[in-house]
Amino acid sequence: MERIFSILALVAALGAAAYSYVTTERQRGDVETLQAQVEGLKKSQGDVQRVLGEVQKDVKTQGQQFQELVGMLTGQGAEPETQLDMDKLTDAKNAEFLEAFGKQDGVVKLPSGAMYKVEKEAPAGAKQATATSTVTVHYAGTFVDGTEFDSSYKRGEPATFPLEGLIPGWLEILPMMKEGDIWTVALPYQLGYGEAGRGHIPPRQTLVFKIELIKVSP
């Protein structure tokens, strides 16, 4: 009888040890799984912070570009690096430029006085802008003597902005363009900054733009 009890005790001890081993291994596995999950969360958090940092940088850069563009198109931008020679920007010089530009082959003159020449035509069926569109463009702006006062090409990135609130000439011309169009546009001062000028734009200045319409949304 004592031998039977001894055997039963041994079996019980073995069972307890086995249970303890299984439980310990299970806990160890759970701990390892939990550790792996924690490491994954840490990595994900790092990835999220990195992406957020990049987004914030992009937003800041785009915001600066937008402010620069709006400044240029509202006449409130920074002073041009090149000193203007006003003897080359007289009323007579502006009138001479507009007359000569209007005689070039392929130039279209609108009733408002705006003129444009298609340098590259968009593919058939390309999306067209409207007065309320947001557009992505490359552009360069000069006075009639060729002095450049702003250029997205020089900044190395196109600009994205809503058309609403910009100078009259852009509001008239951009809705006529399609994605892929590249136009040279001449705007008399009435469609730019008027009699008084604004910011670094002198009074009564014709503005000449190369405009490349890259994207229209919506």
Tell if the pTM clears 0.75, that is, is over it: no
Residue 143: other Cβ atoms inside 10 A = 23
Catalytic residues: 139, 149-150, 167, 193, 209
Which residues, 6 or more positions from 169, have their beta carbon under 8 angstroms from its beta carbon? Answer: 114, 185, 187, 191, 192, 207
Across 36-45, 115-124, 128-137, least confident range: 36-45
Total count of domains within the chain: 2
Residue that finishes a domain, picked among 73, 97, 116: 73
| Higher per-residue confidence, 126 vs 1 | 126
Residue 97: other Cβ atoms inside 10 A = 19
Residue that finishes a domain, picked among 43, 73, 103: 73
Can you tell me the distance from the alpha carbon of 104 to that of 82, in angstroms, rounded to the nearest whole number? Answer: 28
Q: What domain range is 145 assigned to?
A: 83-217
pLDDT at residue 128 is higher than 90: yes
Q: What are the helix (H) ranges across the chain?
A: 2-73, 91-102, 152-155, 168-173
Co-location of 61 and 104 in the same domain: no
pLDDT at residue 159 is higher than 90: yes
Read off the pLDDT of residues 169-185 as tens digits, 9 standing for 90 and up: 999 999 999 999 999 99
Read off the pLDDT of residues 37-93 as tens digits, 9 standing for 90 and up: 757 766 766 665 675 566 465 545 555 555 555 555 554 544 555 689 999 999 999
Co-location of 201 and 99 in the same domain: yes
Greatest CA span in the chain, whole angstroms? 129
| Higher per-residue confidence, 195 vs 13 | 195
What CATH number is associated with residue 210? Answer: 3.10.50.40
Establish if 78 belongs to a structural domain.
no
pLDDT at residue 15 is higher than 60: no
Co-location of 101 and 193 in the same domain: yes
Q: How would you classify the pairing of strands 182-187 and 115-120?
A: antiparallel
Co-location of 25 and 109 in the same domain: no
| Residue among 111, 73, 97, 80 nearest 206 (CA) | 97
To 5 degrees, how large is the angle CA 125–CA 126–CA 130? 115
Can you tell me the distance from the alpha carbon of 204 to that of 78, in angstroms, rounded to the nearest whole number? Answer: 19
Residue that finishes a domain, picked among 9, 44, 73: 73
Q: Could you please report the per-residue DSSP string of 75-114?
A: T-SPPPSSPP-GGGSSHHHHHHHHHHHHTSTTEEE-TTS-
Contact 102, 115 (CB under 8 A): yes
Identify the bridge partners of residue 108 per DSSP, sorted by sequence position. 116
pLDDT at residue 168 is higher than 60: yes
